[in-house]
A and B are shown apart, each in its own frame.
Chain A
Amino acid sequence: MDSSNVLVIGGGIAGLTTAHELSKLGVKVELVEKEPFLGGHAIQFTCKAIESCAKCGACMAEEKLNNVIHNENIKILTGANLNRISKNDRFHYNIQLNPDDKNQSKCTGYSSSADAVIMATGFEPFDPVKKPYGYRVFKNVITNLDLERMLKTNGIALKPSDGMPPSKIAFIQCVGSRDSKLNHLWCSKICCASALRMAHVIKSRKPETSVTFFYIDIQGSGKDFEALYQKAKEDFQMIRAIPGDIYKTEDDWLKINYFDNLSKASIEEVYDMVVLSVAMIPGSKTKELAEILGIIPCDTGFVGSCKNNGIAGSGGVFVAGTAGGPLSIAESITHAVKTAWDVAKYLKTRGR
Chain B
Amino acid sequence: MKTLIIGSSPCAVNSAKELLESGNEILISLNKNEDSSAIDEFKAAGIDPAFILTDTNILSCRGCAGDFTILMASGGKTVSKKISGVIIAEEYEKKPNFAAYGLKPAPGVLPLSFLTGTGIYGINASKKIPHAGKIAFLTGLGYESNPVIAEEVMLASLKFQTDLNLQTYILTGNLKVAGNGLEKLYRETKTAGTVYFKFTDTSPRILQDNEGKVTIELVDEITRLNFRITPALTVVDEIISPSAYMKELAAVFGLHTGADGFLQSGNLHRTGIYTNRKGIFVAGPSRSILNVAGNITDSANAAILTSRIPDDNIKQEAKAEIKSGSCIRCLTCYRCCPYRAIDLDIRPSVMPDACEGCGICFAECPRGAISLNFPDNRNVADAIRRVSDIGKTSPLVIAFCCGRSAGRAKELAICMGYRLPQNLKVIEVPCSGFVSMEYVLSAFQNNADGVLVLTCHAGNCHSEDGNIFARRRVEQLKETFSQMNFEKERLEIKTLASNMGYEFAQITNMFENTLKVLGSGNLKILKVQK
**Interface residues of A, Cβ cutoff 8 Å to B:** 21, 24-25, 43, 45-47, 49, 51-53, 55, 57-63, 152-155, 177-178, 180, 185-187, 189, 192, 217-226, 229, 238, 240, 261-262, 264, 304, 306-310, 325-326, 329-331, 333-335, 337-338, 340-342, 344-345, 348
A178 and B268 form a contact (CB under 8 A): no
Q: Does B124 contact A (CB under 8 A)?
A: no
Q: Does B456 contact A (CB under 8 A)?
A: yes
Chain B hits for A186, CB < 8 A: 180-181, 183-184
Chain A hits for B421, CB < 8 A: none
CA distance A63 to B303 in the complex (A): 22
B178 and A51 form a contact (CB under 8 A): no
Q: A53-B460, A223-B260, A330-B271 are known contacts. Are A217 and B293 too (CB-CB below 8 A)?
A: no
B296 and A338 form a contact (CB under 8 A): yes
Chain B hits for A335, CB < 8 A: 297
**0 or 1 for each of B96-129: is its CB under 8 Å from A? (1 = yes):** 0000000000000000000000000000000000
Partner of A341, one of B18, B182, B288, B459: B18
Partner of A24, one of B262, B308, B456: B308
Chain B hits for A264, CB < 8 A: 224
Q: Does B446 contact A (CB under 8 A)?
A: no
B260 and A222 form a contact (CB under 8 A): yes
- Tell me, rounded to whole Å, the shortest Cβ–Cβ distance linking A227 to chain B: 8
- Tell me, rounded to whole Å, the shortest Cβ–Cβ distance linking B474 to chain A: 15
- Tell me, rounded to whole Å, the shortest Cβ–Cβ distance linking B170 to chain A: 12
Q: Does B495 contact A (CB under 8 A)?
A: yes
CA distance A223 to B502 in the complex (A): 29
Q: A62-B498, A186-B183, A309-B180 are known contacts. Are A219 and B174 too (CB-CB below 8 A)?
A: yes
**Which residues B360-393 have CB closer than 8 A to chain A?**
none
Besides A187-B183, A223-B259, A325-B180, 6 more A-B contacts (Cβ < 8 Å) are A49-B497, A219-B178, A221-B146, A221-B176, A261-B222, A342-B300
Most chain B C-beta atoms within 10 Å of own C-beta, residue among A52, A306, A309: A309
CA distance A84 to B266 in the complex (A): 43
Chain B hits for A333, CB < 8 A: 271-272
When C-beta atoms are compared, the residue in chain B nearest to A188 turns out to be B178
Chain B hits for A342, CB < 8 A: 300
A155 and B502 form a contact (CB under 8 A): yes
Q: Which 8 A-B pairs have the closest CB atoms?
A: A53-B460, A308-B293, A221-B146, A338-B300, A47-B497, A53-B457, A219-B178, A49-B457
Chain A hits for B303, CB < 8 A: 341
A221 and B147 form a contact (CB under 8 A): yes
CA distance A224 to B258 in the complex (A): 9
CA distance A58 to B499 in the complex (A): 8
A221 and B145 form a contact (CB under 8 A): yes
When C-beta atoms are compared, the residue in chain B nearest to A57 turns out to be B268
CA distance A264 to B179 in the complex (A): 32
Q: A221-B147, A337-B301 are known contacts. Are A62 and B408 too (CB-CB below 8 A)?
A: yes
Q: Does B420 contact A (CB under 8 A)?
A: no
- Tell me, rounded to whole Å, the shortest Cβ–Cβ distance linking A230 to chain B: 9
B499 and A223 form a contact (CB under 8 A): no
- Tell me, rounded to whole Å, the shortest Cβ–Cβ distance linking B493 to chain A: 11
CA distance A177 to B499 in the complex (A): 28
When C-beta atoms are compared, the residue in chain A nearest to B404 turns out to be A63
- Tell me, rounded to whole Å, the shortest Cβ–Cβ distance linking B246 to chain A: 15
Q: Does B164 contact A (CB under 8 A)?
A: no
A309 and B293 form a contact (CB under 8 A): yes
B198 and A217 form a contact (CB under 8 A): yes
- Tell me, rounded to whole Å, the shortest Cβ–Cβ distance linking B202 to chain A: 10
Chain A hits for B497, CB < 8 A: 47, 49, 53, 58-59
B184 and A185 form a contact (CB under 8 A): yes
CA distance A36 to B178 in the complex (A): 32
| B contacts with A: majority SS | loop
CA distance A31 to B349 in the complex (A): 43
Q: A62-B408, A63-B498 are known contacts. Are A52 and B300 too (CB-CB below 8 A)?
A: no
Partner of A310, one of B144, B267, B297, B460: B297
Q: Does B35 contact A (CB under 8 A)?
A: no
A221 and B289 form a contact (CB under 8 A): yes
B304 and A178 form a contact (CB under 8 A): no
Q: A52-B459, A53-B268 are known contacts. Are A185 and B183 too (CB-CB below 8 A)?
A: yes
CA distance A178 to B175 in the complex (A): 12
Chain A hits for B271, CB < 8 A: 57, 60, 329-330, 333-334
When C-beta atoms are compared, the residue in chain B nearest to A178 turns out to be B183
**Interface residues of B, Cβ cutoff 8 Å to A:** 18, 21-22, 143-147, 174-184, 187, 198, 200-201, 221-222, 224, 258-260, 262, 266-268, 271-273, 288-289, 292-294, 296-298, 300-301, 303-305, 308, 311-312, 405, 408, 416, 456-460, 495, 497-500, 502-503, 506
- Tell me, rounded to whole Å, the shortest Cβ–Cβ distance linking B460 to chain A: 3
When C-beta atoms are compared, the residue in chain A nearest to B21 turns out to be A345
Chain B hits for A330, CB < 8 A: 268, 271-272
A221 and B298 form a contact (CB under 8 A): no
- Tell me, rounded to whole Å, the shortest Cβ–Cβ distance linking B158 to chain A: 15
CA distance A177 to B186 in the complex (A): 14
- Tell me, rounded to whole Å, the shortest Cβ–Cβ distance linking B175 to chain A: 5
Chain A hits for B262, CB < 8 A: 223
- Tell me, rounded to whole Å, the shortest Cβ–Cβ distance linking A287 to chain B: 18
- Tell me, rounded to whole Å, the shortest Cβ–Cβ distance linking B409 to chain A: 9
Chain A hits for B259, CB < 8 A: 223-224
Chain B hits for A154, CB < 8 A: 502
B222 and A308 form a contact (CB under 8 A): no
Chain A hits for B268, CB < 8 A: 53, 55, 57, 59-60, 330
CA distance A325 to B180 in the complex (A): 7
CA distance A222 to B178 in the complex (A): 12
Most chain A C-beta atoms within 10 Å of own C-beta, residue among B200, B305, B458: B200
CA distance A338 to B14 in the complex (A): 13
Chain A hits for B296, CB < 8 A: 308, 310, 338
Q: A47-B497, A187-B178 are known contacts. Are A155 and B272 too (CB-CB below 8 A)?
A: no
B499 and A46 form a contact (CB under 8 A): yes
A61 and B459 form a contact (CB under 8 A): no
A49 and B502 form a contact (CB under 8 A): no
CA distance A309 to B259 in the complex (A): 28
- Tell me, rounded to whole Å, the shortest Cβ–Cβ distance linking B157 to chain A: 16
CA distance A266 to B178 in the complex (A): 29
- Tell me, rounded to whole Å, the shortest Cβ–Cβ distance linking A26 to chain B: 10
CA distance A60 to B269 in the complex (A): 8
- Tell me, rounded to whole Å, the shortest Cβ–Cβ distance linking B487 to chain A: 24
Q: A221-B289, A334-B298, A338-B296 are known contacts. Are A25 and B178 too (CB-CB below 8 A)?
A: no
- Tell me, rounded to whole Å, the shortest Cβ–Cβ distance linking A291 to chain B: 22
B311 and A222 form a contact (CB under 8 A): no
CA distance A257 to B144 in the complex (A): 28
Chain B hits for A58, CB < 8 A: 497, 499
- Tell me, rounded to whole Å, the shortest Cβ–Cβ distance linking A313 to chain B: 12
A218 and B301 form a contact (CB under 8 A): no
CA distance A337 to B306 in the complex (A): 13
- Tell me, rounded to whole Å, the shortest Cβ–Cβ distance linking B264 to chain A: 8
CA distance A325 to B289 in the complex (A): 19
